[in-house]
């Protein structure tokens, strides 16, 4: 793991966007694994700025999102589909056919999950996977006690995750309690991984992820086994290292 610590969220966002932009410059048809949550919002904003300055082109880029709430359709303001459209896709020249996000309304979940894995394979695998991290150490929606061998699957969200994510919903009751998420195996198959964390509430989890033992209790700890991970932190998220 390569740990990079920067001063604050602004710097973290700029550096993350530069890494993503470099990937697209070096390989214009890159397959990017993308994340949601508050953490990558600044990186997406910076990436859009780099695009508007004419320095990168998304026309051949292919994307796969980590996860989607189960039960929410694309038009729901809280869906990750909506989030991605609102934060990045509507601003850049990405081909809509190259965007992949699990279908939260899929009738046949098993088929949706197997199909998602197949599409990743057909695209040639993920070149660079962007990750945030949950307070409990989840990546994607792979909650503690995860099976490391899992691929894309239906997950039941932890109480802590529902509580943390309720800030985006009108009430706790409205937060879906299930999601479709890439599994740890899917994430570990990416060629490179860029994990972002900002703020003090992630500091202890980040320390355990980097210096603790590898355990399904802290799903992100499995990243210690990946050969090419950058962990990009602001000073607060790095404060317990």
Q: Which residues bind ligand GLP (CB under 6 A)?
A: 35-39, 66-67, 132-134, 140-141, 161, 165
User: Tokens 């009108």 belong to which residue?
Assistant: 170
Q: Which of 61, 6, 39 is nearest to 139 (CA)?
A: 39
The least distance separating ligand GLP from the CB of residue 93, rounded to whole angstroms, comes to 25
Q: How far is the CB of 25 from ligand GLP (least distance, A)?
A: 25
Report whether 147 contacts 216 (CB < 8 A): yes
Bridge partners (DSSP) of residue 154 are 180
Give the Cα separation of 133 and 219 in Å (integer).
Answer: 9
Note if 67 is an active site residue. yes
* CA atoms of 219 and 216, how far apart (whole Å): 5
The yes-or-no answer on residue 234 being catalytic is no
Residue 207 is a catalytic residue: no
Residue 152 and residue 117 in contact, taking contact as beta carbons nearer than 8 Å: yes
E strand or H helix at 112, and its extent? helix 109-122
Containing 58, the helix (H) or strand (E) segment is none
Provide, rounded to whole angstroms, the least separation between the CB of residue 40 and ligand GLP. 7
Q: Which residues contact 81 (CB under 8 A, 6 or more apart)?
A: 65, 68, 74, 101, 104
Identify whether the C-beta of residue 13 lies closer than 8 Å to the C-beta of residue 42: yes
The residue annotated as part of the active site, out of 46, 68, 112, 143, is 143
Where on the phi/psi map is residue 64: left (φ > 0), alpha (ψ -120 to 50), or beta?
Answer: beta
Annotated active-site positions, please? 67, 136, 138, 143
């Amino acid at each position: 793991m390569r740990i990079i610590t920067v001063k604050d969220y602004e710097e973290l966002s700029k550096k993350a966007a530069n890494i993503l932009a470099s990937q697209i410059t070096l390989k214009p048809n890159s397959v990017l694994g993308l994340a949601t949550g508050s953490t990558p919002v600044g990186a997406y904003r910076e990436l859009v700025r780099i695009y508007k300055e004419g320095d990168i082109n998304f026309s051949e880029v292919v994307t796969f999102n980590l996860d989607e709430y189960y039960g929410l359709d694309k038009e729901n303001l809280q869906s990750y589909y909506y989030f991605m459209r609102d934060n990045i896709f509507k601003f850049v020249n990405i081909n809509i056919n190259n965007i992949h996000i699990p279908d939260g309304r899929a009738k046949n979940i098993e088929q949706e999950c197997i199909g998602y894995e197949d599409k990743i394979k057909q695209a040639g695998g993920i070149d660079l996977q962007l990750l945030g991290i949950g307070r409990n150490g989840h990546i994607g929606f792979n909650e503690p006690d995860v099976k490391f061998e899992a691929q894309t699957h239906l997950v039941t969200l932890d109480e802590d995750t529902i509580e943390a994510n309720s800030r985006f919903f009108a009430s706790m009751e409205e937060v879906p309690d299930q999601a479709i998420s890439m599994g740890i195996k899917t994430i570990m198959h990416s060629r490179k991984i860029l994990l972002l964390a900002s703020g003090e509430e992630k500091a202890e989890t980040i320390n355990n992820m980097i210096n603790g033992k590898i355990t399904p209790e802290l799903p992100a700890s499995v990243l210690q086994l990946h050969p090419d991970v950058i962990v990009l932190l602001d000073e607060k998220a790095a404060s317990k290292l």
